[in-house]
Structure 1
Amino acid sequence: MNKLSDHVDWQFLFREFWHLYRFGSAGGNAVIRSHLKEVRTRLNAELERNPRVEFEQPIRLPVCAWLNRAIDRGLGERTAPMVRSLIRVSNQLTWKYGYERMRPGLARKYAYAELMGPNGPVMSENLILGMVLFAPRCTYPEHSHDGISESYICLSGSISDSNYSVFNPGSLLFNPPKRAHRMTTGDFEPTLLAYAWVGEPDKLSDQKMDFSAKK
């Protein structure tokens, strides 16, 4: 059986995830500190389990035209170790939209690649880790997640959260379950984010997000 231990570059990628969630700041916030620990605990359990790996056909979507620029910028930031690890597996990534219906224009400015989770390629029922890429001048519409605690760590570029805060490389955005949030990127540079979702297995395996339901 194809296992994570057979893929050294992927092992180091998840090690960099662990470091981000261990040494990144919680800003003195107990709720965020608990979330960071939960991600690490679940990731440790998955790595100990040595999960199976099931690669899909690699897919690049229109926004991937910005990926090289996002990587180049990220290599100059404190998040560079994660970005370098991402480079090693970038030709194996399956970029997706994740929605049955896309708002006009968003399909050219957004995509995500799941790295670990119910949909693989590294299989897990208890944790989802991945990457999100946004083009410049992208608005990701307001939405929320049922039963999912979500965090993003900015790897390159910048992003605003619901018109209240701006996050640069190394910053963490945290959204507890059902918190509505909207993200907007800068005018000139793409934004690359690492993300983690934690929740019960049934919630992780059956996330339904419909922009039309979010006002």
Structure 2
Amino acid sequence: MEARRLNDCPDWRYLLVEFYEMYRRGRAGGSAKIRAHQRVVREAVSKVMADNPVVQPQPREDKPVTAHLKRALDQGRRETTQSMIRAIESVQDDLSWLYGYEKVPRGLSQKFAYAEFVGPQGPVVSDRVILGLVLFAPKCTYPAHSHDGLTESYFTLSGAVSENDDGVFAPGSMIFNPPGRMHRLTTGDNEPTLLAYAWHGAHDKLVAQKMVFTRRKKEQP
């Protein structure tokens, strides 16, 4: 049986269109670096759609935090991100929620998971860019980590998140992390938080990214 491709799967293609529009309309706040990143992501998404890549179904997999997904999507319908929320709902039954770490810190396994949309492992198979979702439960602390050779951005779709205690990012706002930047995320007390993310970088970094948390050094007595 011939593999299905993106043009045969309208829901996945519309989801990529929503990513393109999010990175076209998203505000850069006057930052040339953020504006350049938005352009790079748009160009990568456009090339993925032009490639008409294979869509490789992933086994459905849930994690404890996905019990919060319905609420996160419901809240997102009230925001300017509602068009992206509807596109996600169209493919949510085909998502594989993962941890991505060999060792997950105690307690985090109940409050975090991610689902990839586009990337070397699929479901939309591409090595141009990695796109996906991250879901956090209320009162979640996602430990400090960084990404080697990858530029990362998050768009808040619902809920609210703080990075490095430097501010609060509400729906429609973007967090930008250049390669190697340490970042720690915390979420609000009462609602889940849903983020869309994009990773962009060299081919070898995209296909072999190792995700690890940074251990805090013990204070000297």
- Give TM-score, length-normalised by structure 2: 0.96
Q: What is the one-letter code of the residue matched to 2:183?
A: H
Query: Aligned residue pairs: how many?
Result: 215
Alpha-carbon displacement from aligned partner over 1:57-86 (angstroms, at most 9, x marks no partner): 111110000000000000000000000110
In 2: Cα distance, 1:211 partner to 1:19 partner = 32
RMSD: 0.9
List aligned pairs for 1:54-133, cutoff 5 A. Answer: 54-133=56-135
Deviation at 1:165, TM superposition (A): 1.0
In 1: Cα distance, 2:116 partner to 2:214 partner = 23
Alpha-carbon displacement from aligned partner over 1:2-43 (angstroms, at most 9, x marks no partner): 101111111111101011000010001000000000000011
Structure 2: 5+ residue stretches without partners: none
- Secondary structure at 2:24's aligned position in 1? helix
In 2: Cα distance, 1:105 partner to 1:36 partner = 34
1:31 alignment counterpart: 33
Alpha-carbon displacement from aligned partner over 1:161-186 (angstroms, at most 9, x marks no partner): 10111100000000000000000000
Q: Highest CA radius of gyration, 1 or 2?
A: 2
Alpha-carbon displacement from aligned partner over 1:112-156 (angstroms, at most 9, x marks no partner): 000000110000111000000000000000000000000000000
2:210 alignment counterpart: 208
In 1: Cα distance, 2:99 partner to 2:198 partner = 17
Structure 1: 5+ residue stretches without partners: none
Deviation at 1:95, TM superposition (A): 0.4
- Equivalent in 170, 173, 180 of residue 172 of structure 2: 170
- Give TM-score, length-normalised by structure 1: 0.98
2:152 alignment counterpart: 150
